[in-house]
Chain A
Amino acid sequence: MNVSSARLKVLIGDDEPMIRDVVREVLEAEPDFDVVAVAGDAEEAIRLAERHRPAVAILDVRMPCGGGVRAAREIRRRSPRTRIVAFSAHGDPGVVEEMRRAGVTEYLLKGVPNDDLVAAVRRLAAAD
């Protein structure tokens, strides 16, 4: 539909169903967001990103099939316009640096207010 195509397409990749569901709800509460795909591992995230070409992918760092690092690197390669937010329980500098090298420009620690996550997605989409 025309209305949905104008909205900001977002992909969620997280192996924890409770997180996936609530992130989806948080984003869908925003009238201009459209969650186009939800993946439970890195492989699925890469595949769905290639198919849907989201504006933004929100990726967990520790997930099966290569984790957020692999997912980020492959998504950047296969869908170059997709921007990536890492949404992770891990804040140690080594992990953050690894994600940055994989093409991640926003790194949010799980536990930040919902508004921060929404704002990060908007910021990345606007930066394009």
Chain B
Amino acid sequence: MPDADQEHPFHRQVRAPDRPETDLELLVQSVIDYSIFMLDPGGRIVSWNAGAQRIKGYASEDIIGKHFSVFYPPEDIAAGKPDWELEVAVTDGRLEDEGWRLRKDGTRFWANVVITALFDGTGRLRGFGKVTRDMTERRTAERTLDERGKLLNHLIRAQEAERRRIAWDVHDDTIQSMVAVGMRIQLMAGRLPDEHAAAMSRLNDAVSATIGRLRHLTFRMHPPEIDRAGLSEALSDYLAQVASEAGLTWELRHDLDREPSPEAAITIFRVCQEALTNVRKHAKATSVTVSLSSADHGVLVRVIDDGTGADPSYHGSARHGHFGLIEMRERAELAGGWWNIEGRSGEGTIVQFWLPMPPVGGPAERYFPG
């Protein structure tokens, strides 16, 4: 038994009550704005309240006994964050953190988390108290006001304008020149002796293939329909094209309560484009579904295929060199959202991401017109 001097320095401040007050228990159970629950010393969940169910989506019978790391995104688990947070809580008595956490359905919310280590009268660790708030909405509102949000919108517009300019240049200059060259080769082929026919035909084929590649490049750089017809139209055109090239059936589900801002629409389109490129190149899928829905004051997008299933090592994948995945994730995170990929061998892949959508006419638009 440790004597008083050896007691943990925090056990006097935070102590599990010997006999909880009924009213207090009732309060904890009923609060819905905060997720309040306890972990055993190993990090397994031993209690659950109404707020936890509301915020995280699990009923108590689904979650009690599970390790609390189920709430952390794969990249945090890979980094050892759950265990590290408990260690800090033990050492310092408490730990406070803000970051993405997972709900039961795999979507994320921006959480403010306080973990408090609970010691009994002898200084022995009895477990942890965990209080979590869903701050997604407040974070979205703050980001629309801050300089970073403004800068980001500016950056997205500038990047798209540059891409568009390059796409037009390639379209109007390079492709036209190649077309003229190709037509002239065909003319010459008709006038040359037969022995040159095969060489001219090969030359013409090379020019045609180059035109095709340039056309594909310009299409990828500038989605021609997004500024004309809106996001879902642009996506369905793109899906139709990718699906026909790859021999896939496709579906676009669109259930947004309003059209995203131009910047969000561009980000959504670009991330979907990258995800669909992966489906086409790697998935060996027969069908792909893209769904857009309103969730958490933002847009939740899922790209689901029935292919071979992405390699789980894709996570946190800079070191694996999957630049397409890095780009998707960076785009979503830059916009204040999140992104993840789930794949099981033989069961297809789900790329899902969420972007915040500030309310129309909200503070950002009032303070920063134009």
Q: How far is the CB of A25 from chain B (nearest CB, A)?
A: 6
Mark A49-66 against chain B: 1 for CB-CB distance below 8 A, else 0: 000000000000010000
Chain A-chain B contacts (Cβ-Cβ < 8 Å), number? 59
Q: How far is the CB of B327 from chain A (nearest CB, A)?
A: 24
Known: A19-B180, A25-B187, A94-B228. A111 touches B211 (CB 8 A): yes
Closest B residue to A19 by beta carbon equals B180
Q: Does chain B have a CB within 8 A of A31? A: no
- Pair B179/A89 contact, Cβ less than 8 Å: yes
Chain B CB within 10 A, most for which of A94, A110, A113: A110
Q: Does chain B have a CB within 8 A of A6? A: no
Residues of A within 8 A of B190 (CB): 29
CA distance A113 to B229 in the complex (A): 31
Q: Does chain A have a CB within 8 A of B277? A: no
Residues of B within 8 A of A93 (CB): 225, 237
Residues of B within 8 A of A29 (CB): 187, 190
Q: Does chain A have a CB within 8 A of B177? A: yes
Within 8 A of A (CB), among B204-231: 208, 211-212, 215, 224-225, 228-229
Q: How far is the CB of B28 from chain A (nearest CB, A)?
A: 58
Within 8 A of A (CB), among B167-182: 171-172, 175-180, 182
- Pair B172/A62 contact, Cβ less than 8 Å: yes
- Pair B180/A22 contact, Cβ less than 8 Å: yes
Q: Does chain B have a CB within 8 A of A23? A: yes
- Pair B225/A22 contact, Cβ less than 8 Å: no
CA distance A22 to B188 in the complex (A): 11
Q: How far is the CB of B233 from chain A (nearest CB, A)?
A: 9
Within 8 A of B (CB), among A1-58: 16, 18-19, 21-23, 25-26, 29
Q: Does chain B have a CB within 8 A of A70? A: no
Q: Does chain A have a CB within 8 A of B157? A: no
Known: A26-B187, A111-B211, A114-B186. A90 touches B180 (CB 8 A): no
Q: Does chain A have a CB within 8 A of B183? A: yes
- Pair A111/B224 contact, Cβ less than 8 Å: no
Q: Does chain B have a CB within 8 A of A128? A: no
> Interface size (A, Cβ < 8 Å)?
21
Q: Does chain A have a CB within 8 A of B184? A: yes
Known: A92-B224, A94-B228. A114 touches B187 (CB 8 A): yes
Known: A22-B184, A25-B187, A26-B187. A94 touches B179 (CB 8 A): no
Known: A23-B183, A26-B183, A29-B190. A18 touches B224 (CB 8 A): no
CA distance A62 to B225 in the complex (A): 16
- Pair A16/B224 contact, Cβ less than 8 Å: no
CA distance A110 to B214 in the complex (A): 12
Known: A22-B184, A29-B190, A114-B187. A95 touches B179 (CB 8 A): no
Q: How far is the CB of B181 from chain A (nearest CB, A)?
A: 8
CA distance A73 to B66 in the complex (A): 69
Within 8 A of B (CB), among A84-123: 89-95, 110-111, 113-114
- Pair A19/B225 contact, Cβ less than 8 Å: no
- Pair B180/A89 contact, Cβ less than 8 Å: no
Known: A93-B225, A94-B229. A16 touches B186 (CB 8 A): no
Known: A22-B187, A90-B224, A95-B224. A111 touches B171 (CB 8 A): no
Q: List 7 A-B contacts (CB under 8 A).
A: A22-B180, A22-B187, A25-B187, A89-B171, A89-B172, A94-B229, A111-B178
* Chain A to chain B: the 3 pairs with minimum beta-carbon distance, closest first: A18-B180, A92-B224, A111-B211
Binding site for B on A (CB under 8 A): 16, 18-19, 21-23, 25-26, 29, 62, 89-95, 110-111, 113-114
Binding site for A on B (CB under 8 A): 171-172, 175-180, 182-184, 186-187, 190, 208, 211-212, 215, 224-225, 228-229, 237
Known A18-B176, A89-B175; further 20 A-B contacts with Cβ < 8 A: A18-B177, A19-B176, A23-B183, A25-B184, A26-B183, A29-B187, A29-B190, A62-B172, A90-B171, A91-B215, A94-B224, A94-B225, A95-B224, A110-B179, A111-B175, A111-B182, A111-B211, A113-B186, A114-B186, A114-B187
